[in-house]
Chains A and B, each alone.
Chain A
């Protein structure tokens, strides 16, 4: 019953919201309408032809057709997408290859948003290796999948030179964000931070080297602890 009333109230509020948007401009619109009405009722201003004797008579009426300019859309190239590959050290589970996808949106020359997803595999813990046949995790639980949403800051933009003729823009960047990690049968809230280097050999292409730490809480081996999972990757991205 209570929920029913809530839904009713919510619906009423929802219906009222779009109305509020127009209320704001009422006064302004009314003022504009009044001004328009006044302008109509007022006698049109009579333009007195210049009776000045000294003025030279106009012989030619210039008939210049104003050229219409078609403005083509300027392409925006702020989105960067690509693939990367590297190594991930999963705490207690060894170091293994990792591969992933990256998408970034450059908001200003300094800041960018980045979304990442990657996958790796955890190996055997030293406990499993020493104790013989004990398996802490099944094969599917050893799959390490992460995603994150991060904010990046281009820390030291500059130029790199290859010989005399080639100059490429580059930047060190700091990156940090949050996301989730699916490992050992559970998805953990994960904080990531790190730094990277971006080299831009062409306007549409960039090469990356990134080192990031992915930190999440794990109680897999008894006590609950923060695990640090360091990752180093190289990647290629394309600007769109």
Chain B
């Protein structure tokens, strides 16, 4: 059994490699930029510590191959490839002389961005809670959010899924509070040692709030509280508190 799995894993790895090679080496149309500053420094790797091994003089052009985090891989007219920093790239110009502009991960981006993703640790109804979320912003204040979570407790385990709206009250503040409201589902699996141990899935609605704190670049901390109302099929509805704290980034 294990040997077969091992073979399957190896085979899929080889397949993955074969599938991806043509995609990576395929010809593409690259953006051509011109050096407007005295020179452009090329580093050997995408990081501040990598040494500068080549400089491109003023008015020479480079092709932008791709971007990784805040670094751009560029190719000079002579075919030299290296990494240029975001700060240097902001001084480059397009062929018509207009400045090259792109999305920069900074405070302005924190105030207003399109996508957000993050992961949290916390508590859900007293159980340990692991959660992740993604959001799509309509403007700097209003966003549509989807969250998935798993709670792992002493008496029950379960999975939660939420969809809702988030309203950021003061988006430009570094400590930025928000309100959230939405609906979801919870799947509860009581531990087998208890009586009436049947799994159940219930509809929920929640209201909550939290705060975001901008750390650096594209990263921020997010703490959140949600009061869930679980609409059970029994006479009494249930309530569950969700507390969580985690890291998120925007794009």
Contacts and interface: CB of A to CB of B under 8 A. Distances in A.
B141 A74 contact: no
A111 interface: yes
A159 interface: yes
A157 B47 CA distance: 8
Nearest to B30: A72
A20 interface: yes
Interface residues of B, number: 69
Interface in A106-123: 106-109, 111, 113, 121
Nearest to A216: B152
Interface string B73-102: 100000000000000000000111010001
Contact of B218 (A20, A108, A159): A108
Interface of A: 3, 6-7, 10, 13-14, 17-18, 20-21, 24, 66-69, 71-72, 74-78, 82-83, 85, 96-97, 99, 105-109, 111, 113, 121, 149, 151, 154, 157-159, 167, 169, 177-180, 185-189, 203-204, 236, 238-239
Interface of B: 2, 5-6, 9, 12-13, 16-17, 20, 24, 28-31, 44-50, 64-73, 94-96, 98, 102, 105, 117, 119, 121, 127-128, 130, 132, 138-139, 141-142, 150, 152, 157, 165, 167, 179, 181-182, 191-192, 205, 207, 216-219, 229, 231, 237, 247, 249
23 contacts: A3-B231, A14-B182, A17-B179, A18-B142, A71-B31, A72-B28, A72-B30, A72-B31, A74-B31, A75-B65, A76-B67, A83-B16, A97-B6, A106-B69, A107-B218, A108-B216, A149-B132, A157-B47, A159-B45, A169-B44, A178-B130, A180-B130, A239-B68
